[in-house]
Amino acid sequence: MNETPSVSPSAPAGRPRSFWRDLSMPAIVAGFVTVLVGFTSSAVIVFEAARALGANEAQIASWMWALGIGMGLTCIVPSLRWRVPVVTAWSTPGAAMLITGAAGVPLDQAIGAFIVSAVLIAVSGFSGWFERAMNRIPIALASAMLAGVLLRFGIEAFASMQTRFGLVFAMFAAWLLGRRLWPRYAVVLALAVGVAIAAVGGELRTGALRLEMAAPVWTTPSLSLAALVGIALPLYVVTMASQNMPGVAVIRASGYTVPISPVIGWTGVATLLLAPFGGYALNLAAITAAICMGPEAHEDRSRRYVASVAAGGFYLLIGLFGATVTAVFAAFPRELIMAIAGLALLGTIGNGLAAAVVDERQREPALVTFLVTASGLTLAGIGSAFWGLAAGLLTLLVLNLRRRGA
């Protein structure tokens, strides 16, 4: 299951790769699973964040429109530009911070804070300082962090057998059969079996399905000191530390070379443009990006960018048909979602663990990184991925000092 890291692929003789020739069903399914996992795992947090700021139903729908359009374009454009998988997402820790830390701040002032945070993110990207800082992180620690972030998805895939054994075991058996006979279509087969069993058993909740387009709602921004200190700065810090940092680590651990500075910068610009409509923070994805970068997306790593383009297409559908797509994703049983996410990420987890322990001199720091990240530790509103890297770097520093002194 090990893969040799490589730089970003390019077409021979300077010709751009043909998207239509690279298009494949596994990549499309990987894109769908990426959006399915990302949306179903955190959409409710975004809804609650909007409500905490006093948004009405039309404004909440506008938030989904802005975020869907923003994520769609920031997935599709860089993936096609550089022919590598680039996956973005909304800032889930940022939304959680809004729920707990933005109480009493009016919506228009919160929008102003979103704009300030977006400007800071854009400056951090285009200036290049964030990429320079990330280049100092050893690949073993980045791989360990990736494995730690994804571990819970692998565990929950099998833990979900406790509540829906027949459904999940059948999906696992289909995946196993697919890996043996048709490796490229293993996840496709598992998803098809899961949907079929859920449909036959009456477990697909399709009663709320309706075709309804979302409409953007403009909110004129303003700003206050309370919004600047209580929302803008914390949102910027949380988004960079808990989202963009792990996102870059996932890209590096997967063996891809992506121009990080412009990608980060353009997520800031996209947030800046969409903030008045509810696009509070866009950033690099970590967990869902790993689905598009893993072997299940395609055995040819140079064609996996199609998965992130497909994910962007599905995100655009969320933006345009927010209520409809929400109902579609809500129709799937939770166990089906956890099973397909875990199965899609098994290869990436294995590759991350293998890369983390290959260098004996960095094995202990990588192990510390993996365990702290997998623990789910959250301090000061910043998630375990950041603290895992911090603990690993500290361990590496101390052990290197010890070796020099020996």
Residue 190 resides in a domain: no
Whether 76 and 309 have beta carbons less than 8 Å apart is answered as yes
Residue 379 resides in a domain: no
Angle at 215 between CA 110 and CA 316, to 5 degrees: 90
Instruction: Please state, in angstroms and rounded to a whole number, the distance separating the CA atoms of residues 34 and 346.
Output: 14
Number of domains in the chain: 1
Residue 86 resides in a domain: yes
pTM over cut 0.85? no
Residue 299 resides in a domain: yes
> Quick one: which H or E segment has residue 88?
strand 88-90
Residue 140 resides in a domain: yes
Task: Concatenate the DSSP letters of all residues of 263-319 into one string.
Answer: HHHHHHHHHHHHGGGT---EEE-SHHHHHHHSTTT-SSGGGTHHHHHHHHHHHHHHH
Q: What are 279-337's pLDDT values in tens digits?
A: 999 999 988 898 999 888 888 999 999 999 999 999 999 898 876 766 676 678 888 88
Instruction: Please state, in angstroms and rounded to a whole number, the distance separating the CA atoms of residues 92 and 98.
Output: 10
Instruction: Please state, in angstroms and rounded to a whole number, the distance separating the CA atoms of residues 260 and 128.
Output: 8
Residue 283 resides in a domain: yes
Domain that holds residue 315: 24-164+204-359
Cα-trace Rg, the chain = 21
Query: 334 vs 247, which has greater pLDDT?
Result: 247
Q: What are 111-150's pLDDT values in tens digits?
A: 999 999 999 999 999 999 998 888 888 888 888 887 888 8
Residue 155 resides in a domain: yes
Residue 280 resides in a domain: yes
